[in-house]
Amino acid sequence: MDQTTATPRPRRGDELTVMVDSLAHGGAGVARHDGYVLFVPGTVPGDRARVQVGKSKRAYGEARVVELVEPSPDRIAPLADHPGAPWQVMPYAMQLEVKSAQVEDALRRIGHLDGFELEPIVPALEQWRYRNKLEYSFGADASGRLVCGFHAPGRWEEIIELQDCLLASEAGNAAREQVVAWCRAQGLTAYDRRTGEGFLRNLVVREGRRSGELQVRLVTAPGKLDTESLAAAVTLADGLLWTQQASAGETTAGGETELVAGAERLRERIGPLELEISAQAFFQTNTEMAEQLYELAVAYAELGPFDRVYDLYCGIGTIGLLMAPRAAQLWGLEIVEDAVADAIATARRNEIGNARFFAGDVRLALRELQERAGRPDVLVVDPPRAGLSQKVVRRIIETSPKRIVYVSCNPTTLAPNAAQLVAAGYELVRVRPVDMFPQTPHIECVAQLVRRSG
């Protein structure tokens, strides 16, 4: 008889003492109580902890730590109280080992794949202060004082204030503090996510790691703002923008954005490419490691001078534009029109004449692109965390590229997508993880798939 049915599972509110034996995809510790699986965020393999059960489902439950009874011998002291760095209690070498193992586990267990080469994970150049973009939220402390920081884990209404965000540069932190000080002086209040009242929602600070420029964007509910006073106060921003967001959801995307002062776009450089990035365009948040990720993608493409390349979900076109000088043609497809405009401008700025970019939904526009451009020799895809829908995978198979380079930010969605492609006649040749986000469970990797002959 199955253990989960033989033993009554713990109920919500129960307190148990458990031993954590591994880490799940997403970063939570995995413990077992009489065979029943519990996911426990904030724990490390080897931790013995007293936990309180939250969700209790038939197959598994979720719990929070009440007391760390006996810390794991691998546990180290955290550097900062930072909700965005949950893995800082593990040595960095252990973080790399776990991430590499999780990529292999996803491919073998979820995708039922084998025969591929798992190449060694590429470690991060910097373990702290590596992010070029931070999205902060406004809130209030117990005394009603305005604070700016990150949502507390599992408590979306509580904001943890940060004096020094160790994932951001000192300059980025200073720019944030200038904005917060001005907001307090103006008497502005935080947007209440429960009632929809209040004004200040988010603050986005973006940095050109190569240019040294800072782009600061204040996100508020619709209303009035003394933009002249704001511009005078935030002296560290090379570009200062204001977005009015009417949506009830927690998002910095969309809304109405206006330029308050300085430059509308952020200058940056990736390898030989000179970039200008608009406020809401996607760009990898670790510039130094993005260079290594993209170099790996170029290597996996194995480009020849007569190859036609498709770059799907191309964003501002960075990966494709790095490939273009080695290929005959580059065709990029992206649904966000501002990002497409950035890609076209980047191609022009860098004098890359064999690149074309179009705005469109990959699911709907790929057939039309093939009719216009011809079949690709190499297809690069860099989808969001949810991976590719089955329909998009079918469309990719229809284009029949010789090689597919899949840049993934989630190995658990890469695995089923790779399995579909293998079932359609491709071979998963090699995969390499790249650590873009130290101190966190997030994993990026690049996979190479080659069409089998015959």
- For 416, the token pair is 């089923």
Which residue shows structure tokens 């200062």?
240
Return the biggest CA–CA distance within the chain. 71
Q: How many CA atoms lie within 13 A of 37 on its CB side?
A: 12
For 8, other C-beta atoms within 10 Å of its C-beta total: 9
CB 50 within 8 A of CB 67: yes
Residues 6 or more apart whose CB falls under 8 angstroms from that of 364 comprise none
Q: How many CB atoms neighbour CB 39 within 10 A?
A: 20
409 noted as active-site residue: yes
DSSP state of 119: P
Instruction: Give the DSSP H or E segment for 419.
Output: helix 411-423
Contact criterion met (CB below 8 Å) for 410 and 388: no
Give the sheet arrangement for strand 308-312, strand by strand.
Answer: 117-118, 426-434, 444-451, 403-408, 378-381, 308-312, 329-334, 355-359
Residue 69 forms beta bridges with which residues? none
How far is Cα 309 from Cα 297, in angstroms, rounded to an integer?
12
Closest CA to 443 of 106, 125, 74, 47: 106
Q: Is 394 helix (H, G, I), strand (E, B) or coil?
A: helix
242 to each of 47, 66, 148, 258, 268, how far by Cα in Å? 45, 41, 17, 5, 21
In single-letter form, the type of residue at position 209 comes to R
Alpha-carbon torsion angle 162, 286, 182, 219, nearest 10: -110
Q: In angstroms, rounded to a whole number, what is the distance separating the alpha carbons of residues 321 and 351? A: 10
Question: Edge-to-edge strand order for the sheet containing 200-207?
Answer: 155-161, 146-152, 133-140, 200-207, 214-220, 239-244, 256-262
What tokens does 172 get?
A: 């980025």
Q: How many residues does the chain have?
A: 454
Q: Which helix (H) or strand (E) holds 117?
A: strand 117-118
315 is written with which tokens?
């964003």
Which residue type, as a one-letter code, is found at position 307? D
The residue annotated as part of the active site, out of 148, 314, 409, 445, is: 409
Q: Which are the catalytic amino acids? A: 409
